[in-house]
Amino acid sequence: MDIYKSVIGGDKRAIARFISLIEQRSEEAINLLKKIHSRTGNAIIIGITGPPGGGKSSIVNQLAKKLRSKNKKVGIIAIDPSSPFSGGALLGDRIRMQELTMDEGVFIRSMGTRGALGGLSKASYDSAKVLDASGMDFIIIETVGVGQSEVDIVKLADIVVLVQVPGLGDDVQAIKAGIMEIGDIFVVNKADKEGAERLVKEIEMTLDLNPNKNEFRPPVIKTVATTGEGIDDLFVNITRVWEHFVKFDIIRKRRLARAKQELIDIVKENYFDDFFQRYSEKIQDMAEQIYQRKMDPYSASEIIIQDIRKVFFN
């Protein structure tokens, strides 16, 4: 199978295989990623994040159905946590997406976090590119159930949808830093439950306090994902926010920042590893001295950095 050609042609088996190669961090994956790069950047990437059991998968399911009714092709990456003990994972997001399985225009991939702590998996970034190159119009990334500070989704998505549910805390939760700052659209799901109206008001109040609210104020939408209530409203708002972000150059800035961050990460990952390999003996030796209080870690690091400078900038 020529994976490159098949992926460009939208072949699902090829897409699936390519993503597996990315998860294994194989040389072949990197060569393929180089080849597809010029064909990416066309899909709109939507991140769906929020607490466990908040209805993210159900919202993804409904939103994907809505996009399909507009004849848009949808790629979905759904992430669940990997065990820090066994490394295994139970990936259950598909349960809420059963009706999408047989749809020609939908591709769903479940992923374990495999040690990543920001709500995504390492492979999710490059896997989104595969879906993009395969001709998907929209890519939906569903993060793991998050708490307060897993905000990596901002590094990958064009638009972040933050799902909240009533009953999880008081109004101070809404003004805390972290997750509440990353929503481009707020969804109050399970809006038929008690406390939904109050949660909407608390979020609105938080948004009112935002000093930049005149530039862009995230919409707050009520949904009941199990019935599909509010999904039309969500879709309309995604379109609106997208248009606003394009018009005010926000998408370009976000994507440029993403490209920069990615380049830095790749260099770090590949070349810092080389450095550490090169200095592994010295580091071991220094660690011993630091442990015995014969040396402090800051002075030790200066010695290594000076040495690196000598090698690279002499």
Partner 1 sequence: MIAKKIRVLIAKPGLDGHDRGAKVIARALRDAGMEVVYTGLRQTPEQIVEAAIQEDVDVIGLSILSGAHNFLFPRVMELLKERGVDDILVIGGGIIPDEDIPGLKEVGIAEVFTPWTPTSKIVEFITSNVNK
Partners of 161 in the beta sheet? 48, 185
Closest separation between CB of residue 88 and partner 1, Å? 4
Of positions 9, 16, 31, 168, contacts partner 1 by CB under 8 A: 16
Closest separation between CB of residue 24 and partner 1, Å? 5
122 or 254: whose CB is closer to partner 1? 122
Token readout for 241 is 């926010």
- Asked if 48 and 89 count as a contact pair (C-beta separation under 8 A), the reply is no
Distance CA 38, CA 128 (A): 14
Closest separation between CB of residue 180 and partner 1, Å? 31
Distance CA 125, CA 122 (A): 7
90 or 263: whose CB is closer to partner 1? 90
66 or 109: whose CB is closer to partner 1? 109
Instruction: Count residues near partner 1 (CB under 8 A).
Output: 32
Rule CB under 8 A: say whether 56 interacts with partner 1. Answer: no
**Among 141, 144, 230, which residue's Cα sits nearest to residue 187?**
230
Closest separation between CB of residue 25 and partner 1, Å? 5
Q: How many CB atoms lie within 10 A of CB 281?
A: 8
Distance CA 173, CA 150 (A): 15
Closest separation between CB of residue 62 and partner 1, Å? 16
Of positions 3, 7, 19, 220, contacts partner 1 by CB under 8 A: 19
Rule CB under 8 A: say whether 34 interacts with partner 1. Answer: no
Closest separation between CB of residue 102 and partner 1, Å? 6
From residue 63 to residue 102, what is the string marking binding to partner 1 with x (rule CB under 8 A)? -------------------xx--xxxxxxx-xx--x--xx
Beta strands 185-188 and 74-80: pairing type?
A: unpaired
- Asked if 156 and 255 count as a contact pair (C-beta separation under 8 A), the reply is no
Closest separation between CB of residue 85 and partner 1, Å? 8
89 or 187: whose CB is closer to partner 1? 89
Our measurement of the distance from residue 275's CA atom to the centroid of its chain's CA atoms, rounded to an integer in Å, reads 29
- Contacts with 16 (C-beta within 8 Å, 6 or more apart), sequence order: 109
Helix (H) or strand (E) segment spanning residue 44 = strand 44-50
DSSP state of 179: G
Rule CB under 8 A: say whether 227 interacts with partner 1. Answer: no
- List of residues contacting partner 1 (CB under 8 A): 12-13, 15-17, 19-20, 23-27, 82-83, 86-92, 94-95, 98, 101-102, 107-110, 112, 114
